[in-house]
Structure 1
Amino acid sequence: MTLPTSAEGVPDSRRTRSVGIGRAHAKAILLGEHAVVYGAPALALPIPQLTVTASAGWSAQPGDGQGDLSYTVTGSPSRAMVTQASDGLRRLAAEFKTRMGVSGRPYLDVILDGAIPHGRGLGSSAASSRAIAFALADLFGRELDETTAFELVQTAENMAHGRASGVDAMTVGALRPLLFRAGRTQEVRLGCDGLFIVADSGQPGSTREAVELLREGFERRPGARMRFVGRATQLTEEALLALAEGRAGDLGRRMTDYHALLRAASLSTSPIERLVAAALEAGSLGAKITGGGLGGCMIALAPPQRAREVTRRLHEAGAVQTWLVPLKGLDNHAP
């Protein structure tokens, strides 16, 4: 699709390009969902195989009657998702203009094209926001550092999900697995071999609803939050050590234990449970929900020689899509 090239109201010195391009990728949470917002650590995995590309260009006039920005998503996401994303995008675009010193009210067209399914806990909204932020920077000829990019994505994330932890905003731009702890981020050392297999249940989840459900449960049961966060912290710390020391079996067991923690908090669903059971029966070392829960995806850790069988069994159990993320491809020498 060719974008309009009018830049009425923008000084000539700022019209450096007719189209700006930005990209980002999906993510999955290995351990730490929900507990991370209460101060527990979390392990997050970039999924470079799943990408999103944003194109931003000039428009002669607003295309949707809602201000100075027109937003189009390729494919067929639901109207509710497009509306929610549009609201966050408008906030992000306004914040971008303020931070980057963009004057006037130029009309913009933004087109988003990607393979990250919506509402599956794979960071689609954060990846879209990051891609758009870099597309706007490219269009306006601005340099966008990682700190500013993170803050812009968080602007949209907080609007979409309420109190966003920041895990998605960081991981959709990362090249290697990350550890989040006490507001700090560091790359994770990998000593394991194996494949992570992400399976889409076909059922959209809702981070906002899951967060609220968990909060209500904490309020009803004195001490529940402390127990949840304590157990989540223990499992994540043990998984981090196993990942670094090459103990894939221990890593897998901690993943499965974390799934039990989320299931006990009523965040799992029947489709997710079928996928987790199928992955474990097919020889996975561990399997769990990934993301907010109440639908979405699960993630399994499989030995390379079992990956084909695990994938086959996941599809038989109802997975609508699967993706392989090899640990070897994410290896690094971070301390």
Structure 2
Amino acid sequence: MSAASELLATLTDRVAEGEWSAPGRVNLIGEHTDYNEGFVLPFAIAERTAAAVALRDDDVLRISSSFSEGAVEVPLAALDDAISAGGLDWAAYPLGVAWALRRAAPDAAPRGLDVAITSNVPVGAGLSSSAAIEGAVASALNDVWGAGLDRVALARVGRIAENEAVGAPTGIMDQMASMLGRADAATFLDCRTLQTQEVDLGFAREGLEILVIDTLVSHAHSTGGYAERRAACEAGARAMGVLALRDLAESDLPRARELLDDVTYRRVRHIVTENQRVLDTVATLRDAGPRAIGELLVASHASMRDDFEISVPELDLAVDTALANGAIGARMTGGGFGGAAIALVQGDRLEAVASAVGEAFAAGRYRAPRTFPVLPSVGARRDA
């Protein structure tokens, strides 16, 4: 019996309707470009969140998880009020999904459910544990309630839950990566049109792996820094007379420098150059393979450190140490202000790079990081 099914058995003696899961994700490149309607290149990872579901005789949604004591109960009839009132803590993610899915699929047939959620996606490491919760629960409710939504629509449901129920002003990249992942491939996503292309990574063929270096520095997207960056991007777009920063090219940057204050200009410059780096990475992967993308990863980190100012000393140390010890490329990943860096490493160098990073953190008197490899993996699915 799976961990989610075991947890469900503590809630009810009813037979489960099924179990669904969705993965976390690593963003190979394209940071903060998603809410600017730009380009991103994430991939799903093997670490997953599972949701086991059983029907109830009433209209109550009862949510329990392995990472919080007790269960949260909300009648379906009171769901709108519960979301509006807030204060749901972690339960805002699954309950927000239920709330958003009902809006997206008015012909669905919602029923009371017991939902048990377990996860091995690291929290706070920039691997989108939140999108994994959203993807697993959305997939489950879509089937059990007969909503009939496709994967892109379910990704939208997850984003609405995170934006409006949780209050985190994120884009749709995380949810799309979690829903659409494929083994040894990344999802090239146009965040304006939501068109996607699978891009073969070739890591397995080349004997390469992605090492995640979790600094254990906590971050929260719904707090100030992330929202401030988004506001600066929106202000820059307005000043430049475009709908979103996606509409600017590098050739527009001289005009932006004249029109914008220094901070807003540097925020805009990061987005514009990062969009181009995503396009260049896709082309390089297709034309030259994964060993040729290292400089693009390094340039992405420098831009986030200097222009977007979302790195922290621990992330910079992780990137610099990985590169000094043979990584092909490295960069911070995720929303910033903590979380994780990633390094593209030859498989037989993983241990050496991880050890060197640990030693560097000890020398810097930082908390010991958590390091582990991740493999590009499959997206949301029904497991049982």
Aligned residue for 2:228?
Answer: 213
Structure 1 residues 247 and 147, CA, compared in 2 at 3 Å: closer, same or farther? closer
1:33 to 23, 31, 34: 31
Aligned residue for 1:72?
Answer: 64
1:282 to 308, 325, 331: 325
Aligned residue for 1:65?
Answer: none
Given residue 206 of structure 1, which amino acid in structure 2 is its aligned partner?
A
- Comparing 181-190 with 115-124, greater Cα deviation is found at 181-190
2:12 to 4, 22, 27: 4
**Offset from partner CA, 1:122-163 (integer Å, 9 cap, x none):** 111111011012222444466552133222212212233544
* Matching of residues 91-170 of structure 1 within 5 Å: 91-97=96-102, 99=105, 101-103=107-109, 106-140=111-145, 143-159=148-164, 160-170=166-176
Gaps of 5+ in 2: 1-6, 70-85, 236-260, 362-366, 379-384
Structure 1 vs Structure 2: percent identity of aligned residues? 25
Q: How far apart in 2 are the matches of 1:196 and 1:119?
A: 18
Aligned residue for 1:186?
Answer: 197
Aligned residue for 1:204?
Answer: 218
Q: How far apart in 1 are the matches of 2:12 and 2:339?
A: 36
Gaps of 5+ in 1: 7-16, 63-67, 331-335
The 8 Å contact of residues 214 and 341 in structure 2, kept in 1 or not, is answered as: yes
Given residue 169 of structure 1, which amino acid in structure 2 is its aligned partner?
Q
Matched, 1:235 2:277: yes
Q: How far apart in 1 are the matches of 2:340 and 2:348?
A: 23
Q: How far apart in 2 are the matches of 1:320 and 1:83?
A: 30
Given residue 261 of structure 1, which amino acid in structure 2 is its aligned partner?
S
Matched, 1:56 2:61: no
- Comparing 275-284 with 314-323, greater Cα deviation is found at 314-323
Shift of 1:164: 3.0
Matched, 1:322 2:371: yes
Shift of 1:215: 4.0
Aligned residue for 2:248?
Answer: none
The 8 Å contact of residues 305 and 311 in structure 2, kept in 1 or not, is answered as: yes
Q: How far apart in 2 are the matches of 1:96 and 1:233?
A: 31
For the residue of structure 1 that corresponds to 2:310, the secondary structure is coil
Given residue 314 of structure 1, which amino acid in structure 2 is its aligned partner?
V
RMSD between aligned residues = 3.0
Structure 1 residues 39 and 141, CA, compared in 2 at 3 Å: closer, same or farther? closer
Aligned residue for 1:195?
Answer: 209
Given residue 289 of structure 1, which amino acid in structure 2 is its aligned partner?
M
The 8 Å contact of residues 34 and 172 in structure 2, kept in 1 or not, is answered as: no
* Matching of residues 78-97 of structure 1 within 5 Å: 83-97=88-102
Q: How far apart in 2 are the matches of 1:21 and 1:197?
A: 29
Structure 1 residues 155 and 37, CA, compared in 2 at 3 Å: closer, same or farther? closer
The 8 Å contact of residues 40 and 232 in structure 1, kept in 2 or not, is answered as: no
Aligned residue for 2:42?
Answer: 44
Aligned residue for 1:253?
Answer: 295
- Comparing 195-204 with 312-321, greater Cα deviation is found at 312-321
Structure 1 residues 103 and 188, CA, compared in 2 at 3 Å: closer, same or farther? closer
For the residue of structure 2 that corresponds to 1:148, the secondary structure is helix
Aligned residue for 2:356?
Answer: 313
The 8 Å contact of residues 32 and 41 in structure 1, kept in 2 or not, is answered as: yes
